[in-house]
Amino acid sequence: MVRRVVVALLGPVAWAPPGVDSARWRAALAEDTVDLLAMLAEVDTAVAVTPADRALADAVTWPDMAVYEVPEPTPGAVFAALTGYDQAAVIAADAPDLPGLTIGKLLRPLTSRPVAVAPAEGGGPGLLGIAARLPVPHWLPPVDLDRTLPSTVRAAAPRPGDLAVTPAWRRQRGPADVAMLDPAVEGWEATRALLSGAGHPG
């Protein structure tokens, strides 16, 4: 039985909508992402934070959810902290309406490829998440979810086919991303409530 874990990386959030407190915005995004993970089947779920953000993790996690403290908010640090797993995915914690199916598509290629990435929607820099067989391959370069492009990871691979690129999804990093949130879609309750309270549609 292949043991898999999906980890939400509660890294820094560089932008918040006008009129919304940045700390509350970050916490709402994290809460909705964690709630999504809690609904996933056939995988373990966890969050990862730097020691300075342990209070945030404690505030948003479910009682049986593991919390990993890492020295830096990067997928590499998360992968290094994991033990006992065959496969792992690390996702950004600013995609509150992320469908569970998108996470499944990120993990699925690991049956035949060592690494998969899901781009952040919009074509700019950054990834929604990265998944890898553990231990991670030696060729995997340092990955920053806010800056790394799929092409950078592919260029480091011995063969282009060693990397799978799975469907993209939007992260909440600017006004256009907030406008794409669909009020008709279930979930993202904390983010929805915070936006509504600040006078934003949602």
Give the residue-averaged pLDDT of 163-177.
95
Residue 197 has pLDDT above 70, yes or no: yes
Give the residue-averaged pLDDT of 59-81.
97
Angle between helices 189-197 and 22-38 (to 10 degrees): 150
Residue 182 has pLDDT above 90, yes or no: no
Tokens of 190: 């904390």
How high is the mean pLDDT of the chain? 95
Residue 198 has pLDDT above 90, yes or no: no
Residue 124 has pLDDT above 90, yes or no: no
Can you tell me the distance from the alpha carbon of 142 to that of 74, in angstroms, rounded to the nearest whole number?
Answer: 8
- Give strand pairing partners of 120: 169
Q: Please give the pLDDT value at position 200.
A: 61
Can you tell me the distance from the alpha carbon of 61 to that of 85, in angstroms, rounded to the nearest whole number?
Answer: 20
Can you tell me the distance from the alpha carbon of 202 to that of 192, in angstroms, rounded to the nearest whole number?
Answer: 5
pLDDT digits (tens, 9 = 90+) for 7-17: 999 999 989 99
Residue 201 has pLDDT above 60, yes or no: no
Give the residue-averaged pLDDT of 35-47.
95
pTM: 0.96
